[in-house]
Amino acid sequence: MKKNDIYEIEITGMTHEALGVGKVDDMAVFVQGAIEGEKVLAKIIKVAKNYAVARVEQWLAVSPGRREPFCPVYKRCGGCSLQHMTYCMQLKFKHRVVTDNLERIGGFRGIHVNPVIGMEDPMNYRNKAQYPVSMGDSGPVAGFYARRSHTIIDSESCGIQHPGSEKVRNVVIDAVRKLKIPVYNEETGEGILRHIVTRVSYATGDIMVILVVTKENVPGLDRLIRRLTDEVPQVKSIVLNINKRRDNVILGDTVKTVYGSDTLVDRLGHLTFHISPLSFYQVNPVQTVVLYEKAVEFAGLTGSETVFDLYCGIGTISLFLAKKAGRVIGVEVVPEAVEAATKNAKVNNIFNAEFFCGAAEEVVPRLYADGMRADVVVVDPPRKGCDEALLETMVKMQPERIVYVSCNPSTLARDLKYLAANGYGVREVQPVDLFPWTEHVECVVLITKL
């Protein structure tokens, strides 16, 4: 087998990145854009020792799960990788990803995973957009990165973003062109505007605009603010985020409000939240309520329990739990998020929740050493999962229940394996689709003491 060879390949499986899998003379071939059950003519684009990568030249048999992508730049943009699948097939694919990870990494044989809870309308669901900015052939452009590159795909619309985010992006980039505000160059480090970030309140329609810049003094900023607020009256907050780093991290640590409020107000279920520019907040408000209500259900609270909510962010899960718990202790590493969580508790008249600032793997062992215990522990870690020191302390604390909220099935499986080896059993796994049209899936898992 060599590059540019063309083979007829039957697709018998799919990778977790949604590549079709077939074989040619016992060599595994990963075929971009192909779906299980299809037969294709595919051109080899890469040959490694034990596998090859190919792209489809012609479909010989098409899966009933295939659909026409709704986005005109789908093949170039790196955002929504599953637009070629029907939504029903996406949910089945994500269910298999979760099950495969639990079996392959976690060692859980024959584990039951509930069907993925999907959306009734999986379009325009995102309340946050992050548009990188660069210089294109005809001037500044803002859009999304192409697959496996930092080339920006310039597109005026996106089927998963809130229309308000797209309006902001279009107004800002047009103003940047006319005001000649220098845009950032990744290679040289020169320029000012790096990203346009929006956060939208689905409850009120209000918008926060975060302009990620390399310095506080932005030429033409006053005129940009006037135009933005005139043309998009839903904009209630404009913030400068200063990021001087020469890496891929989008947001810097310094923020300065230049128009309106310091926070954005949104509602999830019966609760109100003030969201600060640097705070973590789930991007899909409809499915977030589904996820959090499931977490509260799994916690099995009767009103007397002490609950630890680790990686608590601005207190979203904490406050859902506090309505049914005796006491909730939230731990979060971002100081602004802890401030927001404390404020959110007061706004919602919740007085049985308190928040500690610091890394969970450092704070929880300290609280445990001081004699604090949890009846229930809820964890919602980043993609890298829980630090082993945290898992060790959780096991020492011996809570009756652990509720694990995960955005990464592989690190979830790894951490569940540790807990299963230390006296806990996995009782229920519920995937929730927070990210339609992408390969990502969220899970909430009930774990109980054996």
Burial class (CB in 10 A: 0-12, 13-18, 19+), 4: exposed
Instruction: Give the model's pLDDT for residue 424.
Output: 97
Which of 298, 433, 276 minimizes the C-alpha distance to 344? 276
- The first and second tokens of residue 303, run together, are 């009103």
- pTM metric for this prediction: 0.92
Which of 432, 429, 385, 392 minimizes the C-alpha distance to 410? 385
Q: Which helix (H) or strand (E) holds 316?
A: helix 316-322
CATH, domain 128-267, list 3.60.15.10, 2.40.50.1070, 2.40.30.30, 2.40.30.20? 2.40.50.1070
- The first and second tokens of residue 400, run together, are 């009756």
Predicted confidence (pLDDT) at residue 153 exceeds the cutoff of 90: no
Topology given in CATH for the domain delimited by 6-61 = OB fold (Dihydrolipoamide Acetyltransferase, E2P) (2.40.50)
Instruction: Give the model's pLDDT for residue 187.
Output: 87
Instruction: Give the model's pLDDT for residue 75.
Output: 82
Given its phi and psi angles, is residue 125 left (phi above 0), alpha (psi -120 to 50 degrees) or beta? Answer: alpha
Predicted confidence (pLDDT) at residue 415 exceeds the cutoff of 90: yes
Instruction: Give the model's pLDDT for residue 428.
Output: 97
> How far, in Å, CA of 389 to CA of 370, rounded?
17
Burial class (CB in 10 A: 0-12, 13-18, 19+), 46: exposed
- Select which of 71, 77, 80, 407 is catalytic: 407
Sheet (strand 20-24) strand order: 6-10, 39-47, 51-61, 27-32, 20-24, 13-14
Q: What is the pLDDT of residues 310-339, one digit of tens each?
A: 999 999 999 999 999 999 999 999 898 999
Instruction: Give the model's pLDDT for residue 225.
Output: 97
Instruction: Give the model's pLDDT for residue 441.
Output: 97
Residue 403 identity (one-letter amino acid):
V
Decide the pairing of beta strands 6-10 and 327-332.
unpaired
Q: Which residues contact 213 (CB under 8 A, 6 or more apart)?
A: 192, 193, 194, 240, 241, 242, 243
> How far, in Å, CA of 254 to CA of 269, rounded?
31
Predicted confidence (pLDDT) at residue 365 exceeds the cutoff of 80: yes
Q: What is the pLDDT of residues 244-273, one digit of tens each?
A: 998 889 999 999 999 999 999 999 999 999
The yes or no reply on domain 104-118+284-449 and CATH 3.40.50.300 is no
Residue-range domain boundaries for the chain: 6-61, 104-118+284-449, 128-267
Predicted confidence (pLDDT) at residue 78 exceeds the cutoff of 90: no
- The first and second tokens of residue 437, run together, are 């049209």
Instruction: Give the model's pLDDT for residue 260.
Output: 97
Rg (CA), the chain: 24
Collapsing DSSP to helix, strand or coil, 229 comes out as helix
Predicted confidence (pLDDT) at residue 14 exceeds the cutoff of 90: yes
Q: What is the pLDDT of residues 160-211, one digit of tens each?
A: 999 999 999 999 999 999 999 999 998 899 999 999 999 999 999 999 999 9
Identify which has the larger pLDDT, 365 or 91: 91
* 407 in active site: yes
Predicted confidence (pLDDT) at residue 156 exceeds the cutoff of 80: no
DSSP assignment of 338-367: HHHHHHHHHHTT--SEEEEES-HHHHHHHH
> How far, in Å, CA of 86 to CA of 88, rounded?
5
> How far, in Å, CA of 219 to CA of 448, rounded?
57
Same topology, domains 104-118+284-449 and 128-267? Answer is: no
Say what percent of the chain tops pLDDT 70. 100
Predicted confidence (pLDDT) at residue 148 exceeds the cutoff of 80: no
Q: Considering the chain, what is the average pLDDT of its residues?
A: 94
Place 146 in a pLDDT band, splitting at 50, 70 and 90.
confident
> How far, in Å, CA of 362 to CA of 64, rounded?
50
* Residue 332 C-beta-side C-alpha neighbours within 13 Å: 26
